[in-house]
Structure 1
Amino acid sequence: METLLLWLFYITTFYAFIPGLITRIFGYRVFRRGVGVKDYALTFDDGPDPEYTPRLLDLLKEHDAKATFFVVGAHAERHPELIRRMHDEGHLIGIHNYVHKSNWIMRPGTVRKQIQRTDDIIHSITGQRSIYYRPPWGIVNLFDFSKRRQVRIILWSAMFGDWKEKLGAKKLTAKLLSRLNPGEVMLLHDCGRTLGADPKAPANMLTALKTMLEEADKRGLKSIRVDEMIRASEKAREGRLSFGKMLLVWCWLMWEKAFQFMFRLKTVSPENPFFHYRLRSYSGDTIEMGEGSVLKKGDRIVELHFDNRRLFELGVSSRSEAQLAIRMIRYTQKELPDLAEIIASSEELASAKALYGVSMINRGPEKFGFLVTDLPDGLFAKSTRVYLRILLSVIHPSGGNRLKRRADALVPKTMLMPITDLLRSYGKPHPGSLTKSVKHSEEDAELSVTLSDADLPGVHAVH
């Protein structure tokens, strides 16, 4: 019994508590506040409600205010005319599950179905899909992070307890006015028919909101849709990292040091590190490398790793994807001959069968002589994919947008080059291929475009 309780504790902690904690404290993978100068965002949960939502829409129209409605699918299904009116009047419609139930007590597949069903209802009424999602009570679970590829999780910066009627309109008004600031994402409710809410509470919300909107007009503040606030915030924050990302980078770089120490990685150019390597035995499936050469389990390989710190520095200092690609090409062109010389001078390294790494590149490495193959599906491939997506979102000049636009292309793959090919192409006796790639700028341009299209900054040999 004690063992069962302990397992339940662990599952609850990692499935629910820790994800909820890091989203609230660090804002990890959620949007909860903008950086506006004159704009704030009104958001409304739990509707639509046939009594209060029409009155709210009238009030917003009177003040030319736009809002975001996170609707409960079952309520939307019963009142399509209100969803249609929200859409026609220029408001953003988001998802709040089909029923108002906590994600902590639902399996990942159930949550996914709740989101999809609500999105289908919205689409059937408005003709548009929604990618904006607010989980009930703002409670996320571990698997909500993975759904960020399909939906954008929206929380809030200001919550007022307006679902309780006893708060009263006067106290609620004071609370609203105290948080009437640019960049705020305000959470209110236009329906009192969900668990824990009072049916008449939205009446107080409408009274308080009227006063706040009048004050906002006096101050020249405007309520905008969440998607507009996200776009404005991303533009204002270009080139800057949030505290959450800086924390992630710090943890990532600490792991880099620990990994290098534990596995005794060596560096190709210690004074200017870009590639690290180690000799180990291959443990994967058999791979045909061409010309009758086969890599099989137990063969010795030189495993290649990028330097995390250098990768991060290049990513955040590059002005564009093309510039980042070109800079990485230059480093690779310089490091491969140095690596070939190191391997050629070591009998142990030279006895290895292949140079090996794992990358998100789909095209491009072939230009350097690598063979790119699919990574066998399984736990390793899935965990690698999650790791590299997080890495890309941090170091890529437009990593977050790349994840949305090209999620299907961001698949880690195996990169291989027979050691004999490495020594023949980049060793001192035969430097021709390298010299040619450095001298001809048009080839560099072609390669930079190829690698940029293939999300070069997502490249990383897996630790």
Structure 2
Amino acid sequence: MFYISTFYAFIPALVSRIFGFRVFRRGKSEQEFALTFDDGPDPVYTPQLLDLLKRFDAKATFFVVGINAEKHPELLKRMHDEGHLIGIHNYVHKSNWLMRPVTVRRQIAQTEAIIRRVTGKGTAFYRPPWGIVNFFDISKMNGRRIVLWSSMFGDWKARLGAKQLAERMLKKLRGGEVMLLHDCGTTLGADEEAPQNMLIALEKLLMVAQERQLRSVRVDTLFCQPVHVSATGEITGTGWFKSVLVFGWLLYERIFHTLFRLRPVSKEDTIFYYRRRTYHGPNVNMENGRWLKKGDPIVELHFDNKMLFHLGSSAKSIVHLAIQLIRMVKQQLPDLAHQLGHDSGMKGVKALYAVSMINRGPEKLGFQIQELPKGLFKKASTLYLKLLFSIIHPSGPEKLSEKKEVMVPKLIVMPIDTLFDRFHQGGSYQTDPTPDSTNQPDVAHMLHSEVHEEVSSIQTTVRASQLADTGSKQLT
């Protein structure tokens, strides 16, 4: 859950706020700035605000909450008729971090339907509540433009007072600025009477702006680019998106590895990291009378996502990616066995443990594949691993869509004595007596032949699956 919440929410928010990635925060004009108002329309304050803007011939952008717009369509129509831009602020004022992607899309669609019904036009502009974006907000917006801000003043609190608010606003009065204000005080954390102070301060701001020959314009005017809502189109430039997202994600992962003291199996080009943990899941039958039970010490394996990304970028297919992974894991399991065998802190561990969506083939290495029990952990693991796969493979989203039935996370377990029996060469750390070396097959030859067997096994499985699905399509 720590991984998922960070990948879903923290990293996208960080990337959008710090780098301005896929969001509009500031214009480049020297004489124009943008006033934006969130949370309305409000039956008390929005009419006063519209009167004030009309008096100074100022244009603004209103990010409306759908449920409020639905209650006051006459205010929505007036905004449109008087030349202001209307954007979306969700149907209810709820953080996107607390909603599933499908729920966010539904909130946006509901609000746009209200705007279109009242004004006859849709909108391409969106501001998430509190400016908090999630992974899907900045990856798939179907042509919409996310608008944040360059200056915020705390105008939702009445105790700030009109005078202090005006001082704060005047300090930020310059060309290109996108100012965040509120024409409604009924949302969580706001004071109901706070917009009255905002109106007083705004009047002062507009007077000074007039003296300085600065003009308040709509966001789309400041943005200086035509933006249209596409029925089927998606935002272009996914290469930049993936590059920035992967950079932030891998940076976070390094922090995660440090915090939780994960160790690399190999100093160079490691395929996974590991740590000792206590098992908390349901009992797992590891065969031959061995069980993994709650409270047992285990070695938890984590794939190195930087390596996964590089492998996925060069992989021609899911099969190709799986084959590369099997080869690398096979090569590094002896290193893992050696480290565990010589690490006193790892004594007593009962099994290797991992959860992976690429789980075809590791049986040849001594792993056992188990279904994850239904529940929150399975749902969370599925979400995280799908997000991961959509990043590590160039056509990840398409593959996930095509292979829903096979791209399912599963539990991968190996008894620790199986690891030592198969891969440890350290004599005294063997769990069984060391066999006569003259009877041992050449290790390199054994690994080579097993890889070929595994490749054959995976290709046969995929061919059978594809033939069953299409009747004719062959694996390339």
TM-score, normalised to structure 2, is 0.50
- Structure 1 residues 47, 281: closer, same or farther in 2, change over 3 A? closer
Establish whether residue 189 from structure 1 lines up as the match of residue 182 from structure 2. yes
- Structure 1 residues 108, 174: closer, same or farther in 2, change over 3 A? same
Structure 2 match to 1:29: 22
Among 394, 403, 419, the alignment partner of 1:384 is 394
Separation (CA, whole Å) in 1 of partners of 2:226 and 2:125: 16
Tell me which amino acid in the other structure corresponds to 2:64: V
Structure 2 match to 1:95: 88
State the 1:62 CA deviation.
0.5
Structure 1 match to 2:32: 39
State the 1:10 CA deviation.
1.4
- Structure 1 residues 22, 387: closer, same or farther in 2, change over 3 A? farther
Deviating above 4 A after TM superposition, structure 1's stretches of 4 or more consecutive aligned residues are 247-252, 280-285, 379-383, 385-388
Separation (CA, whole Å) in 2 of partners of 1:45 and 1:90: 17
The answer to whether the Cα contact below 8 Å between 1:35 and 1:233 also exists between their aligned partners in 2 is no
Structure 1 match to 2:197: 204
Among 111, 132, 135, the alignment partner of 1:142 is 135
Separation (CA, whole Å) in 1 of partners of 2:176 and 2:226: 9
State the 1:18 CA deviation.
1.2
Equivalent runs, 1:15-414 vs 2, <5 Å: 15-231=8-224, 248=244, 384=394
The answer to whether the Cα contact below 8 Å between 2:12 and 2:245 also exists between their aligned partners in 1 is no
- Structure 1 residues 150, 385: closer, same or farther in 2, change over 3 A? farther
The answer to whether the Cα contact below 8 Å between 2:36 and 2:61 also exists between their aligned partners in 1 is yes
Separation (CA, whole Å) in 2 of partners of 1:181 and 1:281: 50
Separation (CA, whole Å) in 1 of partners of 2:159 and 2:222: 32
Deviations 1:134-188 (A, max 9, x none): 0000001111112333321000000000000000000000001000010000000
SS at 1:384 equivalent: coil
Identity of aligned residues (%): 59
Unaligned runs of 5+ in 2: 228-236, 251-267, 270-313, 324-388, 399-476
Structure 1 match to 2:301: none
State the 1:232 CA deviation.
6.1
The answer to whether the Cα contact below 8 Å between 2:32 and 2:176 also exists between their aligned partners in 1 is yes
* RMSD between aligned residues: 3.6
SS at 1:65 equivalent: coil
State the 1:197 CA deviation.
0.4
Tell me which amino acid in the other structure corresponds to 1:9: F
Deviations 1:41-81 (A, max 9, x none): 00000000000000000000011100000000000000000
Structure 1 match to 2:310: none
Unaligned runs of 5+ in 1: 1-7, 235-240, 255-260, 263-279, 286-296, 299-378, 389-463
State the 1:17 CA deviation.
1.1
**How many residues get paired?**
262
Separation (CA, whole Å) in 2 of partners of 1:107 and 1:225: 31
